[in-house]
Structures are given as C-alpha cells and as structure tokens.
Chains A and B, each alone.
Chain A
C-alpha cells in the first residue's frame, strides 16, 4: 500500500485566491511526522511546514497551513493568497519509525499553477 497519496497531479488557482492540496497517509505508528515540500522548476526541495502526530493544533507557517485530520489520516496543505511564485511541484511526506531509525516517504506530488 502507498504510504503517501496525493490524488491531484495538477491544479490551477487564480492569483490571490486560496488553494488546498490534498494528502492522505497510511501508517500504523502512533508517533509520526508529516511534512510538505515545494520544488520549483529549478529542482531544489524547500521545506514548508511540519505537523507532528501528537500536535493538537494545526501547524501554520506564514501563508501555509496544514489541515491535519488524524482520524481521516489526511494532512492537506492550504496556501492562502496565492502568488505567482507559488507555481511549483508540492510534495507531502511522512516520517515514521522509532528514534534514530526514521524513514521518510513521499507522495507523487501535485503541480500547482498560479494564474495571473
């Protein structure tokens, strides 16, 4: 089974509007972490936001927020007030495994295009 599922291969959003990128995950661990990364066309991977499995509040970082629904095993990224520079691939990732023995799994990504 896929550890991370991103069902939206591509999305369009109008500049200044909000957009939600979907992510569901699969784990039997009680302790895990969820991450979102941005990959512009230049190729580098940029860390955006993190949510721990025990965190009760949804994580926020500037215009990014993570809508964490533990029972549904979903960790959607919300970008508010989209900007042209937000056009990129976005990857959801999960860290699982005890202590030092952490593996990171990634989804297939969502390509976001912001229209002027």
Chain B
C-alpha cells in the first residue's frame, strides 16, 4: 500500500513564525502536491512538484514556498505565518507513468492553527 506521511497532525503556531510542514511518500512517486482544505472551498492547490527540484505554483501560492530536494520528501514552508493560513493542509503523491487513471494518494492531513 502507498503511504503518504505528514510529520505533524496538529500544530499551533504564532503569527510571524516560520512553519515547516513535512511530507514523505514511500512509493517512488514523481508527482507530489500540497493542498489546503477549507470549509466551502474544497481543496485548493498550493504547489505541485512533478519531480525532484521541480515545482510549479498552484492556485494559491502566495505566502507559501516549497522544497523538494529528495524524491520522497516534499516540504511546505510558511515563511511568516498569518492567521488566514489557519487551515488543514493535505499532502499527496502520484505515480506519473503507467496510465492516466493513476489516482493521487493523500496523507492524513495537518491541522494548522495560527494564533
């Protein structure tokens, strides 16, 4: 089974802090994603990485950056956390080869509260 592990399930951070959300997948997937999920808005794509050291902005990249130095690890960074970044963050990964129907696999989510 594919496993996508997010390092922290629940975090509480102060405004202005630098926050790191870590994600590791164990299936050698090329593609990795970071989404945030908010009620009524669904999942919105923050950043996408299609391979090591490659990244693309999603729909809401402002206030976030990412790092993908190794294939299995994709980190989301909030340079200076703000209260409007309080949300659930979901990491996902996907095998890019082998078929269009390959689904993405999600981690359990990280609930971030910025106070």
Contact residues of A with B, CB < 8 Å? 4, 6, 9, 31, 33, 35, 43-45, 47, 50, 52, 91, 93, 95, 99-109
Contacts and interface: CB of A to CB of B under 8 A. Distances in A.
A105 B59 CA distance: 9
Interface of B: 30-31, 33, 35, 40-45, 48, 50-51, 56, 58, 88, 90, 92, 94, 96-97, 100-101, 103-106, 108-109
Contacts of B35: 106
Given A33-B100, A43-B108, A47-B103, A103 B48 contact: yes
Contacts of A43: 88, 108-109
B28 to A, nearest CB: 14
Contact of B58 (A35, A101, A103, A108): A103
A95 to B, nearest CB: 7
Main secondary structure of the interface of B (DSSP, over half): strand
9 shortest interchain CB distances as A-B pairs = A108-B42, A106-B43, A45-B106, A100-B96, A47-B103, A50-B101, A106-B42, A109-B42, A33-B100
Contacts of B51: 100
Contact of A45 (B40, B44, B90): B90
A9 B42 CA distance: 10
Contacts of A99: 96
Contact of A105 (B45, B56, B109): B45
21 contacts: A33-B100, A35-B103, A44-B109, A45-B90, A45-B92, A52-B101, A91-B42, A99-B96, A100-B30, A101-B56, A102-B94, A102-B96, A103-B45, A103-B56, A103-B58, A104-B104, A105-B45, A106-B43, A108-B40, A108-B41, A108-B42
